[in-house]
Chain A
Amino acid sequence: MRRALFTAAVLFAAAVSASGMTGVFRDDYIFTYGGNKVYSSNILENRINIEHRTEAWKFFGDLRLLLYSGLAEEAAGESDFRLMRCFIRYYSRIGTFTIGRTYVALGNFGVFNPFERDKEISMSDISYDRSGADAFVWDIALGELSGIRSYIAPNAEFDESSAGVQIFGNMLRFDAGAVINRLAPGRNVAGIFFKGDLLTNISGSFAYHFNDGATENFFEGNVGFEHFFSAKFFVQALYYYNESGANAVADYSGEAATDRYFQARHYLFFNTNFIFDEFFSAFFYAFGNLVDSSAILTPGAKWTLNNGLDLTFQVYGITGTGEDEFSMAEFGKFGGMIRFEAKF
């Protein structure tokens, strides 16, 4: 707590002289129906972003205070204080240096990214950001659309640090790259990724995970497409494969693993968005487990009520039963969320 207060004080001091400070106030009311009962939670998130930019460097801080009530309080406690990111970025002739708590973005941006350090998916917000890592990142531009990104996230014992390199470029309307990353002792990943236009926008990532002696290994990857129809209707589909996942319901471990998002080997992510105008959009996204055929289906709609003020309403339905991964016993039969979000 003392550390959090200190961080808050530092950020506040920086804010006083910062050239740009923005905030987000987000309130999520979540309800779940299961076992003939309705459970509810409320998550109130207060977020402050501080940014100071010059031609030569920038400072960025992202500080959040979350207040939980209802079912969420039982799971996460009364409140949570998070420093998601806080870094200095310096632009020099030999590259861009980022030091502090920052994202280390490798591979294609989006869900089911085999190169992501922390495999987390928020079911209530697939686009929401993640926690940063304390790291030193060095970006070198090799051309206008190509470059090298390398990073090191130090550990108390240096040889247990994470480190990785990504080289990327653009050719024939495709962004493509290769990654080699030591996530932790005994956890390494190497692979390639691409994304580009070929009638429609297609993407793919192929990663090979291996331990230090390469005696244990597995493959992880995805392929997908996305397209805008009539400039209003967006469709995305992504198939995800993780060889370390189970191939049958009986093999589910029931525990979270660091190198996979869910329990099974095959998944399909489907996302569609109808953008009526700046004030209203409707969406539907689904995660489907192709091993047990269970799925989480999430339709919803978002209204922009005024400058910076949004209202989102979404529900989710579960198709799985019994021991299925997305089962009603685990997630309830259905649920929903009402979100007010103010940006200022």
Chain B
Amino acid sequence: MKRTTVTLMCLILFANIFAITADEIIRRLDENNVGVTQEYGGVMTIVKGQRTLVKEFKGYAESNEETFFMEFTNPEDRGVKYLKRSDELWIYFPDADDVMKIAGSMLKQGMMGSDLSYEDMVRMEELNKKYDSSILAEEKFGESECYKVEIKAKEGVKDVTYYREIIWVDKGNFVMRKAELYAKSGRLLKTMETENVKKIGERFVPTKIVIKDMKRKDSVTTMEFTRIEFDVKVPEGVFTMEYLQR
């Protein structure tokens, strides 16, 4: 009885400490992350042990249909292009000057062998729509005071990339500073940490993301965005088969 009372008191105390709700934190996080359209460019560095690969890319994305176009521009992969529309994916091979439709099952594969899957790359889903959230604690991550928030897929929602996530959200600008991404089984799949937060328009955006796939040993992928703009006017026809073959 005494234990129950203490627990209840703690819960009431915590409820008062967090002046902001978990839903509000996630909503503010979404506002930073989700735009109608995006134009981006950057460098992906894949490090495994002593070896390093560098890939450059650019492209456009559109959130409402989870659509993206991406082109690799580094010499080794120059001209390789991807088009994703909903959960369909096509690849353009410059060597064959032809387009190949790829199995949907490939979306979980590491993009160009990195720790970042194709699904991760295009995650522009509004978390509040698909996840239930709760505040676990307030913690410091690096120099940032953060809310530590847990989100879990809502009952019946299956089209989520990760079933459960623990996210450290900066209290000041509502940018995700760290995330732990879990499978339904409870296994930790990946961690993400962000750096170099910049204000782009009304949004705060981390321009450097460090991803570790926990299934891989000694492997780290860093994405550095050299260009990122939200709500841009995407050139006509970018998300089409015709543009993919240009």
A binds B: yes
Are A231 and B108 in contact (CB-based, < 8 A)? Answer: yes
Residues of chain A with a CB closer than 8 A to B88's CB = 170, 173, 197
Flag whether A344 is at the interface (Cβ < 8 A). yes
Are A201 and B97 in contact (CB-based, < 8 A)? Answer: no
Residues of chain B with a CB closer than 8 A to A228's CB = 103, 105-106, 108-109
A162 shortest CB reach to chain B, Å: 18
Are A279 and B51 in contact (CB-based, < 8 A)? Answer: yes
Residues of chain A with a CB closer than 8 A to B102's CB = 201
The residue that B76 contacts in the complex, of A53, A58, A105, A307, with Cβ under 8 A, is A307
The residue that B98 contacts in the complex, of A105, A231, A343, with Cβ under 8 A, is A105
Flag whether A229 is at the interface (Cβ < 8 A). yes
- Which of A79-108 touch B at CB < 8 Å? 85, 89, 91, 96, 102-103, 105
Nearest CB in chain B to that of A277: its residue? B113
Are A278 and B240 in contact (CB-based, < 8 A)? Answer: no
Are B109 and A145 in contact (CB-based, < 8 A)? Answer: no
Bound-state Cα–Cα, A279 to B96, Å:
23
Are A144 and B240 in contact (CB-based, < 8 A)? Answer: yes
Bound-state Cα–Cα, A197 to B87, Å:
10
Residues of chain A with a CB closer than 8 A to B108's CB = 228, 231
Number of A-B contacts (CB under 8 A): 118
Residues of chain B with a CB closer than 8 A to A85's CB = 97
Are B48 and A279 in contact (CB-based, < 8 A)? Answer: yes
Flag whether A12 is at the interface (Cβ < 8 A). no
A167 shortest CB reach to chain B, Å: 13
Using A144-B239, A144-B240 as known contacts, say yes or no to A277 and B101 having CB atoms under 8 A apart.
no
Are B75 and A22 in contact (CB-based, < 8 A)? Answer: yes
Bound-state Cα–Cα, A96 to B241, Å:
12
State which size class the interface on B falls in: 35 or more
Are B109 and A231 in contact (CB-based, < 8 A)? Answer: yes
- Which of B40-73 touch A at CB < 8 Å? 46, 48, 51-54
B101 shortest CB reach to chain A, Å: 5
Bound-state Cα–Cα, A141 to B52, Å:
40
Greatest chain A CB density within 10 A among B79, B88, B97, B109 is at: B97
Residues of chain A with a CB closer than 8 A to B95's CB = 128-129
Bound-state Cα–Cα, A146 to B237, Å:
12
- Which of B9-65 touch A at CB < 8 Å? 46, 48, 51-54
A111 shortest CB reach to chain B, Å: 12
Are A307 and B53 in contact (CB-based, < 8 A)? Answer: yes
Bound-state Cα–Cα, A110 to B96, Å:
10
Are A278 and B103 in contact (CB-based, < 8 A)? Answer: no
Main secondary structure of the interface of A (DSSP, over half): strand
Nearest CB in chain A to that of B217: its residue? A277
The residue that A201 contacts in the complex, of B101, B112, B219, with Cβ under 8 A, is B101
Are B103 and A226 in contact (CB-based, < 8 A)? Answer: yes
Residues of chain A with a CB closer than 8 A to B216's CB = 277
Bound-state Cα–Cα, A197 to B98, Å:
19
Are A227 and B105 in contact (CB-based, < 8 A)? Answer: yes
Are B79 and A51 in contact (CB-based, < 8 A)? Answer: yes
Bound-state Cα–Cα, A102 to B46, Å:
34
Residues of chain A with a CB closer than 8 A to B54's CB = 307
Using A22-B75, A139-B245, A344-B75 as known contacts, say yes or no to A200 and B105 having CB atoms under 8 A apart.
yes
A279 shortest CB reach to chain B, Å: 6
Using A51-B79, A278-B46 as known contacts, say yes or no to A129 and B96 having CB atoms under 8 A apart.
yes
A131 shortest CB reach to chain B, Å: 12
Using A231-B108, A306-B51, A308-B75 as known contacts, say yes or no to A141 and B101 having CB atoms under 8 A apart.
no
Flag whether A195 is at the interface (Cβ < 8 A). yes
B-facing mask of A199-238, CB < 8 A → 1, else 0?
0110000000000000000000000001111011010000
List 25 A-B residue pairs with CB atoms under 8 Å apart, sorted by A's residue number: A22-B75, A58-B246, A103-B97, A105-B98, A109-B100, A110-B100, A139-B245, A144-B237, A145-B240, A145-B241, A173-B88, A196-B101, A201-B101, A228-B108, A231-B110, A232-B109, A277-B110, A277-B216, A278-B113, A304-B53, A304-B113, A306-B51, A307-B52, A308-B76, A343-B75
Interface residues of A (CB under 8 A from B): 20, 22, 51, 53, 58, 85, 89, 91, 96, 102-103, 105, 109-110, 128-130, 139, 141, 144-147, 170, 173, 175, 195-197, 200-201, 226-229, 231-232, 234, 275, 277-279, 304-308, 343-344
Knowing that A201-B105, A277-B48 are A-B contacts, what are 17 other residue pairs whose CB atoms are under 8 Å apart, sorted by A's residue number?
Answer: A53-B246, A96-B242, A128-B95, A141-B240, A141-B241, A147-B241, A175-B101, A196-B101, A201-B104, A227-B103, A228-B103, A231-B110, A278-B48, A278-B53, A306-B53, A307-B53, A307-B54
